Amino acid sequence: MPIIDSENKEINFKIVYYGPALSGKTTSIQQLNHLVDTKKKSKVKKSTEAERTLFFDFLPLTSSEIKGFKPHFHIYTVPGQELYEHSRRLLLKGVDGIIFVADSQIDKIQENLKSFEELTNLLKNLGYGPHDIPLVIQYNKRDLPNAASLAELQKILNTHHVPDFEASAIKGEGVLNAFQACLRQVLGSLKSL
């Protein structure tokens, strides 16, 4: 649920990029920062070693007012390595929207499934049902020759029939579409407040 600060007329949203190790989560938010049309460009704050996320990456974004409130979007990536499950759990607390970044390569299907199952279990442990949190799937690395077919990925990963998008984060393709779809769902949840 977004944090609403009535005194300062601000709404704070938390969006998390989730997925297996090296699926393209960090590259996605770097591209997102490059692609968004905002006057205040931010830098992606990274906690990495040798280009791998250790704790999380963070990107703050703002946009025009919504019903007199200034929205702030706090965008995080989770570390994909198995070792950091505790960090992933912590980053999901208070989440308003999730973009699951799947690695489209055929040999990564099991890692995607394991990561998606972990996400589902962590959300359940936090008290969320399968449709409580806006979710979008970004099938990344679609430009690689060993990418599984889109139909196969959808059948395996998109069992909840959420919005999904093909992407190549390294090229900046599909990243903004996935983010905008998640954002529409998150902002749509404001109507119920």
Q: Are strands 57-62 and 48-49 parallel, antiparallel or unpaired?
A: unpaired
Report which of residues 121 and 70 the model is more confident about.
121
Three-state SS at 85 = helix
Domains of the chain, earliest start first: 3-192 (3.40.50.300)
Residue 24 has pLDDT above 90, yes or no: yes
Q: Is the pLDDT of residue 91 over 60?
A: yes
Which residue has better confidence, 52 or 136?
136
pTM exceeding the 0.75 threshold for the entire prediction: yes
- Give 42-51's long-range contacts (Cβ < 8 A, gap of 24+): 51/26
Residue 57: pLDDT band by 50, 70, 90 thresholds?
Answer: confident
* pLDDT given at position 58: 73
When pLDDT is cut at 50, 70 and 90, the band that residue 48 belongs to is very low
